[in-house]
Amino acid sequence: MPVSVTMPRLGESVTEGTVTRWLKQEGERVEADEPLLEVSTDKVDTEIPSPAAGVLTRIVVGEDETADVGSELAVIAGDGEDAGEAAPAPAQQEEAEPEPEPAALDTPSTEKPVEEEASAPQTAAPSGGSAEGTAVKMPALGESVTEGTVTRWLKQVGETIEVDEPLLEVSTDKVDTEIPSPVAGTVLEIKVAEDETADVGAELAIIGTPGSAPAAETKPEPKPEPKAEPKPEPKQEAPAQPAPQPRIESAPAPQLAPAAEAKPATPAPSQPAAPAAETVKSNGAGDAGYVTPLVRKLAAEKGVDLSSLAGTGVGGRIRKQDVLDAAEKAAAAKAAAAAPAPAATPAAAPAKAAPAKAEPSPLRGRTEKLTRIRATIARRMVESLQVSAQLTTVVEVDVTKIANLRNKAKADFQAKHGVKLTFLPFFALATVEALQQHPVVNSSIDVEAGTVTYHGSEHLGIAVDAPKGLVVPVIKEAGDLNLAGLSKRIADLADRTRNNKIGPDEIGGGTFTLTNTGSRGALFDTPIINQPQVGILGLGAVVKRPVIVNDPELGEIIAPRSMVYLALSYDHRIVDGADAARFLGTLKERLEGGHFEADLGL
């Protein structure tokens, strides 16, 4: 029996998800638990595995479309039943007259063709069209999409095709996709040529039942009135012309000549086809490397050389995501190449300054759609400022003792625990201890219910600068972990978040958040609270500078110290300024005391 792929629940409060990318296309085989598609929610981007092995026979929700949790995304047919479910049912029931209507009800793709076939005998010979022709129509490719452009015909008039085998490629303003054949048979007529646009529901082609190739001659004759331009004569000449690349030159050749009547000369049909073939060759590896107009435009905007890409689409087709990935890699490579430039010899510095300035960001001068995660961040940050009374208190902390302990222990610590010893776990441990002493900062408020909840556990959120945007994974029960445990959890969560491997349940449920803005050199900032929490602590950069200190023997002296600013943003609806000051005072005392020798084995 076919297996339905449904939108899973990707978090406690998640009710819907957006399909960002299909990793398999209709007609392709997929194994059980093999990644099938990528889904984005308000909390996480993740891959959805296939629930069963078989053939992806139907994609219900296209890329960039949103679906509710539990709704159907696709259908997978099991071994041996992919053809039986999609093809023979309509074919057999069309041949057996007693049961054609149930087949139309069971198979939506053949319902409308049955109606058309019923009317065909009235205008054509009874033997010519009622049971042999099935219309292929432009499908709905998105909620607001009303039309699509045919970018490439994968089959030509007279060629045979199997059920669910890709028939043509269609491009819209939202997605590039392949349209599979609804039935097995022969291509009798192509009604919309390459690079032409058709409305959703419009007929694109006519497919005849297996062995009905001769009908291609009788089928077009009864219908010369509505479609006089694409006469069958040029259609049948097309397969004979394209010796080097049949699928690229054959379709444009017959259609472009009548479309552009300004070129009536005989060389005209062949001239449009040649540039099309050159475009394909310049954009990839011949037939398999064909790219749609949208992908070509995106590659030009991002400065990506399509000939250097290996496509991940069906048959090696270069997809939008391939271009985006290549652009990201190129930007990272340029950043890495530019990093060592200042370290070169002083004499070479002036000469290398010009190339560095001549490499502007590929984002300059561009307008693009907000990603789902960026739109979510924007909405939540504004909502946070609107629903709570936020202000920030900053203290300065001397972490020289921690810096000295870290220098002594970091080599052995990494060898023993497998992670680097940074300043962050020291701040995390001190924060958890301070939250236990000041539960008002580890609380949440419900104004409508008139209640405040003082949480019994410390679920510590750690803001991570991921490639797709800011993500805050949560260390659950952080109060039960020591310094080494926190170091491992922070490193693990940060790594999996940046590599899009974080689970949706690891994103929510935080009671307090740390954000390490000092990792990029910032002294301090005023972070925005992650609702429904009431506090977030911003960690500034640890900077060594001269400070006046009180020496027991020498009195006040100036000495180099490792200093850091800690900025606490809090919700004044429940946390008073005195509460914030007490919390920061406890945190400052713990960090400046620097008593972490036991945690480090010193």
Q: What is the DSSP letter of 371?
A: P
The confidence score (pLDDT) of residue 396 equals: 97
Whether 564 contacts 588, CB under 8 Å: no
For residue 230, tell me if it sits in a domain: no
Give the chain's count of helices (H) and strands (E). Answer: 19, 27
The proportion of the chain whose per-residue pLDDT surpasses 70, expressed as a percent, equals 70
* Residue given tokens 């009195």 in the structure block: 555
Residue 334 — φ and ψ, nearest 5°?
-65, -40
Catalytic residue among 465, 576, 579, 599: 576
For residue 226, tell me if it sits in a domain: no
Q: Up-side HSE of residue 170: CA atoms within 13 Å toward CB?
A: 26
Answer yes or no: 572 catalytic. yes
Catalytic residue among 106, 417, 465, 572: 572
User: What are the structure tokens assigned to 403, written together?
Assistant: 């810096």
Q: Is the pLDDT of residue 45 over 50?
A: yes
Please state, in angstroms and rounded to a whole number, the distance separating the CA atoms of residues 291 and 306.
9
The confidence score (pLDDT) of residue 590 equals: 96
Rounded to the nearest integer, the mean pLDDT of the chain is 76
CB-CB neighbours of 483 under 10 Å: 19
Bridge partner residues of 396 (DSSP): 565
Q: Give the DSSP letter string of 244-289.
A: S-HHHHTTHHHHHHHH-TT--STTTTHHHHHHHHHHHHHHSSGGGG
Answer yes or no: 438 catalytic. no
Please state, in angstroms and rounded to a whole number, the distance separating the CA atoms of residues 127 and 118.
12
Which residues are within 8 A (CB) of 208 and not within 5 positions of it... i.e. 6 or more apart? 132, 133, 134, 185, 186, 187, 188, 215, 216, 219
User: What are the structure tokens assigned to 476, written together?
Assistant: 């659950």
Local structure of 63: helix, strand or coil: coil
Q: Output Rg (C-alpha) for the chain, integer angstroms.
A: 32
The confidence score (pLDDT) of residue 294 equals: 66
Local structure of 70: helix, strand or coil: coil
Whether 95 contacts 44, CB under 8 Å: no
Question: Which range in 35-44, 97-106, 190-199 is most confidently predicted, on average pLDDT?
Answer: 190-199
For residue 552, tell me if it sits in a domain: yes
For residue 405, tell me if it sits in a domain: yes
| 387-424 confidence digits (pLDDT tens) | 999 999 999 999 999 999 999 999 999 999 999 999 99
* Residue 462: C-alpha distances to residues 32, 444, 453, 523 (Å): 34, 18, 21, 18
> Which carries the bigger pLDDT value, residue 91 or residue 155?
155
Q: How many domains does the chain have?
A: 1
For residue 129, tell me if it sits in a domain: no
For residue 221, tell me if it sits in a domain: no
Bridge partner residues of 189 (DSSP): 206
For residue 181, tell me if it sits in a domain: no
The stretch 424-441 carries a mean pLDDT of 97
**How much is the pTM?**
0.50
Q: Is the pLDDT of residue 329 over 60?
A: yes
For residue 464, tell me if it sits in a domain: yes
Please state, in angstroms and rounded to a whole number, the distance separating the CA atoms of residues 499 and 528.
25
Torsion of CA 210, 214, 216, 221, to 10 degrees: -140
Check which CATH number belongs to the domain holding 554 and give it.
3.30.559.10
Whether 18 contacts 40, CB under 8 Å: yes
Find the distance separating the first CA and the last CA of the chain, reported in whole Å: 63
Least confident of 1-10, 464-473, 585-594: 1-10
Full domain range(s) for residue 498: 372-600
* Residue 50: C-alpha distances to residues 7, 163, 451 (Å): 11, 21, 44
| 473-487 confidence digits (pLDDT tens) | 999 999 999 999 999
User: What are the structure tokens assigned to 463, written together?
Assistant: 């803001």
For residue 91, give the nearest of 106, 74, 75 by alpha carbon.
Answer: 106
